[in-house]
Amino acid sequence: MIELERLLRSQGFGSRADCRALVRGGRVSIAGQACDDPFARFDEEGLRISVDGAEWVFRRFAYLALNKPAGYECSRRPVHHPSVYSLIPDPLRTRGVQAVGRLDEDATGLLLLTDDGQFIHRYTSPKKAVPKVYDVTTRHVVDRGQVAALLDGVQLHDDPQPVVALDCVPLGERCVRLTVTQGRYHLVKRMLAAAGNRVEALHRVSIGGFSLPPALPVGHWMWLGEAEIALLAGSCQRAMSPPDVLRSSRAPASAGRLVDESEP
Ligand code: URA
């Protein structure tokens, strides 16, 4: 059981004073009943909260998937473009939801966000080797040599170890579906450059076993429920399954390094 004022604060509705004012102002309903007592106590699990008529369900942690558009930075203090955080509601920003790894400003597709620190660690730790799949549109035709180079491992200037793609499937003359298990600064762009090509467009299709739902419009987000989180979690085991271990053992692992895709 938790006091309403604290409960609202935990869900990102502002400071305790802000939340108290919301309740006292008659702007909050709980399970369909108006409540103007900030100290009324409720069992928070699964509780339906309505603030100014907008429905929220209590969530201990928030897990979201965003279909990131091009032209947005994954930073709270963007420099040249709007922030992806402008695409999510205020309470989620206030409660400290942050991107799980980053996508470049010009990259599109699946971006996870959460306020659960352990979850962020789990999906960004190099040791977990969670596969991330990108559709990569290239400037030049992707030839067999380039595919082989990506699978065998390409040399990046800041790393003595070759970086290996877990998978690389041609989708067209200038398009490949690339699976990587690391998250490092401009990783895919640098891998394609090292293979002798150049990335023109980059779209993240999936992280682990969870794919961007086709019905989620660009610029929109959705809650991740137990089913989606189970898919993601399954991916961690899958990343460690024998076939993948065999494939990725083709080159020395360069684990234990950077976590963030676009962070210098
Ligand atoms: N690799 C890149 O080059 N950019 C991204 O945004 C993600 C992976």
Same domain, 104 and 224: yes
Look up the pTM and report it.
0.86
Same domain, 27 and 136: no
Return the structure tokens found at 57. Answer: 């369900």
Mutate to test the pocket of ligand 1, among 74, 187, 204 (most ligand atoms within 8 A of CB): 187
Return the structure tokens found at 173. Answer: 């003359």
Cβ-based burial of 212 (10 A; exposed 0-12, middle 13-18, buried ≥19)? buried
Q: Examine the fold and report which residue of 12, 35, 57 is the final residue of a domain before the chain moves on.
A: 57
CA 33, 38, 39, 42 torsion: positive or negative? Answer: positive
Say how far apart CA 16 and CA 168 lie, in whole Å. Answer: 51
Cα 186 to middle of ligand 1, angstroms: 4
Say how far apart CA 11 and CA 145 lie, in whole Å. Answer: 51
Q: Which residue has the higher pLDDT, 237 or 82?
A: 82
What pLDDT is stored for residue 56 in this prediction? 93
Q: Using 50, 70 and 90 to split pLDDT, how confident is the model at 249?
A: very low
Same domain, 97 and 139: no
Same domain, 132 and 199: yes
Cα 203 to middle of ligand 1, angstroms: 9
Cα 95 to middle of ligand 1, angstroms: 27
Instruction: Domain of residue 80: give its range.
Output: 63-123+214-238+249-256
| Percent of the chain at pLDDT exceeding 70 | 89
What pLDDT is stored for residue 53 in this prediction? 93
- Amino acid letter at 220? H
Same domain, 163 and 35: no
**Is there a domain that residue 178 lies in?**
yes
**Close Cβ partners of 254 (under 8 Å, ≥ 6 residues apart):** 159, 161, 162, 163, 182
Cα 62 to middle of ligand 1, angstroms: 24
Q: Which residues pair with 112 in a beta bridge?
A: 65
Per DSSP bridges, beta strands 199-207 and 108-114 are parallel
Nearest CA to ligand 1 atom 2: 186
Nearest CA to ligand 1 atom 3: 186
Q: What are phi and psi of 139, to 5 degrees?
A: -75, -40
What pLDDT is stored for residue 165 in this prediction? 97
Same domain, 21 and 147: no
Same domain, 136 and 176: yes
**Is there a domain that residue 262 lies in?**
no
Helices (H), 138-179: 144-152
Cβ-based burial of 139 (10 A; exposed 0-12, middle 13-18, buried ≥19)? exposed
**Is there a domain that residue 172 lies in?**
yes
Same domain, 119 and 136: no
Which segment of 1-15, 102-116, 225-239 scores lowest on mean pLDDT?
225-239
Atom of ligand 1 nearest to the CA of 204: 7
Same domain, 74 and 175: no
Return the structure tokens found at 68. Answer: 């990131």
> Which residues' Cβ are closer than 6 Å to ligand 1?
103-104, 107, 186-189, 202, 261-262
**Close Cβ partners of 225 (under 8 Å, ≥ 6 residues apart):** none
**Is there a domain that residue 183 lies in?**
yes
Catalytic residue among 90, 104, 152, 260: 104
**Is there a domain that residue 43 lies in?**
yes
Mutate to test the pocket of ligand 1, among 75, 104, 111 (most ligand atoms within 8 A of CB): 104
Q: Using 50, 70 and 90 to split pLDDT, how confident is the model at 158?
A: confident
Residue 153 has pLDDT above 70, yes or no: yes
Cβ-based burial of 60 (10 A; exposed 0-12, middle 13-18, buried ≥19)? exposed
Give per-residue pLDDT as tens, 23-80.
Answer: 999 999 998 999 999 999 999 988 999 999 999 999 999 999 999 999 999 999 999 9
When divided into structural domains, the chain yields a total of 3
Residue 243 has pLDDT above 50, yes or no: no
Same domain, 39 and 165: no
Atom of ligand 1 nearest to the CA of 186: 3
**Is there a domain that residue 263 lies in?**
no
Residue 256 has pLDDT above 60, yes or no: no
Give per-residue pLDDT as tens, 178-228.
Answer: 999 998 899 999 999 999 999 999 999 999 999 999 999 999 999 999 999
**Is there a domain that residue 152 lies in?**
yes
Is position 143 annotated as part of the catalytic site? Answer: no
Q: Examine the fold and report which residue of 39, 57, 75 is the final residue of a domain before the chain moves on.
A: 57
Atom of ligand 1 nearest to the CA of 199: 3
Say how far apart CA 209 and CA 241 lie, in whole Å. Answer: 13
Which CATH number does the domain housing residue 47 bear? 3.10.290.10
Same domain, 117 and 74: yes
Say how far apart CA 183 and CA 107 lie, in whole Å. Answer: 14
**Is there a domain that residue 261 lies in?**
no
Cα 262 to middle of ligand 1, angstroms: 6
Same domain, 12 and 67: no
